Amino acid sequence: MENPLLSVFDTPHESIPFSTIQPEHFIPALKKNIKNALEGIDKIVSQTAAPNFKNTIETMQNVGVLLERNSLILFNLNSAETSEAIQKITKRASQLLTQFQNDVRLNQALFERIKAVHEKKEQENLTVEQETLLEKEYKGFARNGALLKEDKKNKLREIDIEIAKLSLTFGENVLADTHAYELHITQEKDLKGLPNQVKEMARETAQSMEKEGWVFTLDYPSYVPFVTYAENRELRKEICLAYGRRGFQDNSNNNTTIILKLIKLRKKRAELLGYESHAAFVLEERMATSEEKVQSFLEELFLKAYPAAKSEWKKMEKFALLNLGLNKLEKWDTAFVSEKLKQALLELDEQEIKPYFPLEKVKTGVFEIANKLYGLHFKKNSALEGYHCDVEVYEVFNREGEFHALLYTDFFPRPGKRNGAWMTSYRGQKKGQRPHISIVCNFSKPTSTSPSLLTFEEVTTLFHEFGHALHGILANTNYSGLSGTNVFWDFVELPSQIMENWCYEKEALELFAKHYKTNEVIPMKYINRIKKSAHFQQGLQTLRQLGFSFLDLSYHGYQATDINSVKSHESSILNRVQFLRDYPENCASTAFSHIFQGGYSAGYYSYKWAEVLDADAFDLFLEKGIFDSQTSKSFEENILSKGGTEHPLVLYKRFRGKAPDPNALLKRAGLIND
């Protein structure tokens, strides 16, 4: 059978013909793609012409186009629509790609050409974007071993292959433990407190398993409502502890050994390259620049947030004792008590406002906001294929009506899809090529009696991922390696987090927050309460994020190899940011996919870092108007379209007119006064 992955897709916009692609196509295609890419590299190296930007750096950008496309398809499917076959193939592909990347990065003749261009760059009259690309390529080689002796290069290859395998296995183990658990309820009294839609969804889950009663799982839309609303404390405890045991049980999915191996390998790799730690290696190419600067940033936030968090915790304890009869708060109580307290203080019941946030209207709303800000139009095209029946494909057009991008949306949980929410791409943007972008979430499914109704947190999640998508959709650079989200890691969250701000603004909410039955616009009383909710327990929420950031940094700092027990190390780090007692059977690290499977190792702090940027940047929108055309045009031209073509601080200052002010975040969170 002909392998569709061996050629350019003959489809509208070269969209992916998912139905024609079989798992067995990937490895033969990737092997052929790698062979062709290496031949392309050989042509660059063997040419007799003296190295210059055009015949070396620019030519490299067009090597391995099909390899990049096919790799993106495979790894994206492994996250959103995996199977045992896909998982095995992804492991094999990961080894092949790591080997290929090392073959390129450790190609001494190629590096000599890049080095020659780098040394004579002043003679080439390069644009700022070309200078950035040259610097990125040179550093990319140097930071991947090009300056090492041959024996150390070989050691680096071995380490990279092992890291790639361990990271994939880590994610598979979390997914396996997530799907191995179910809470099967047969007595209706045990559902007390749960919203009707949640119960209906659990009944339909049970029916799909051919079981009586109701089934709850560790998937986010099932787990979170249960621990938030179920009045049965023992059942909250059971599912909560099950969630915390993922990757930490006495079974083949235990991730503790993998973590210890990963952090040691990452440190060993960094040391080979001349760095004290993995964090030092990573942070050299971040806005934060160093482990010390990140630690200082986190400590400063901790000092501001801790008093507020402690006060919020005492209020929770007092409320729980007086109103719920709980003498001591446990892990399985916090979401439940927090929701009750929010209802009491803000008169904001999540279940009252959910009917105003049907997924379809929220999606239409975020499209309309993008139209008001950036002139984009979204048109669903059912003729274009998705990889699952839940996936919708939209053509995106710019102000002039020209095709600008494809957007895939995938919103509901299912077996074979990992938890969480993310944006990714199937094709990057470069001169003459528009991008194919995807946003993936895990929202509550529609039931037989109601559409998918989002919690307000889910609304902000959709806006967040859509902000990432805009970074890809509006990209306008010459080279894909500098396009869209190819920016410093602690800058990448700015476009996503700034989008969340529109969820709190009356002018924006009135565009999409409409009751799914009556089409009534959300009443002002709810809008006011939503705005107030932005300050609710910000101290505790900040402390939680700081805890993960401290933990991440500790695993990747210079003392990483001193860690012998994942659980005891985690407890020692998180102790000062938690008010709950520790639970010996639970471990957050073993399911911390951001840093052990995703790309956030030594980078989890970037969420808080980017919050500073987004709070400061949105202040300008508030000052000028949230749909002010001049401000949105400046944000598009200086941030969204520019990708990584210049240093992010240069781009930010060009938009904002000044450096970001850290106090903007603290003020917005209500942790300090104006």
239 is written with which tokens?
A: 């599912």
Residue at token pair 């079974």: 251
Write down all domains in the chain, each with its CATH number in brackets. Answer: 4-147 (1.20.1050.40), 181-244 (no CATH), 355-534 (1.10.1370.40)
Is pLDDT at 673 greater than 80 in this prediction?
Answer: no
Neighbours of 276 (CB within 10 A): 13
Neighbours of 127 (CB within 10 A): 12
> What radius of gyration do the chain's Cα atoms show?
25
Is pLDDT at 1 greater than 80 in this prediction?
Answer: no
From 647, 636, 556, select the one nearest 267 (Cα to Cα).
Answer: 556
Q: Can you tell me the mean pLDDT for 499-524? A: 96
From 584, 582, 593, select the one nearest 245 (Cα to Cα).
Answer: 584
Neighbours of 323 (CB within 10 A): 12
Alpha-carbon distance of 214 to 230, in angstroms, equals: 13
pLDDT in tens, 26-48: 999 999 999 999 999 999 999 99
Percentage, residues of the chain above pLDDT 70 = 100
Q: Can you tell me the mean pLDDT for 532-545? A: 93
363 is written with which tokens?
A: 């999606």
155 is written with which tokens?
A: 């050691």
Percentage, residues of the chain above pLDDT 90 = 92
SS3 218: coil
Neighbours of 53 (CB within 10 A): 21
pLDDT band of 472, cuts 50, 70, 90: very high
Alpha-carbon distance of 131 to 547, in angstroms, equals: 38
- Judged on CB neighbours under 10 Å (0-12, 13-18, 19+), 568 is exposed
* Alpha helix positions (H), 9-83: 26-46, 59-60, 65-80
Catalytic amino acids?
465
Name the β-bridge partners of 437. 407, 425
From 509, 511, 422, 508, select the one nearest 472 (Cα to Cα).
Answer: 422
Q: Can you tell me the mean pLDDT for 305-329? A: 97
pLDDT in tens, 457-467: 999 999 999 99
27 is written with which tokens?
A: 């490895």
Distances (CA, A) of 73 to 18, 30, 70, 333: 9, 11, 5, 41
pTM for the whole structure: 0.86
pLDDT in tens, 242-256: 999 999 999 999 999
Are 164 and 91 in contact by the 8 Å Cβ rule? The answer is no
SS3 574: helix
How confident is the prediction for the chain on average, in pLDDT? 95
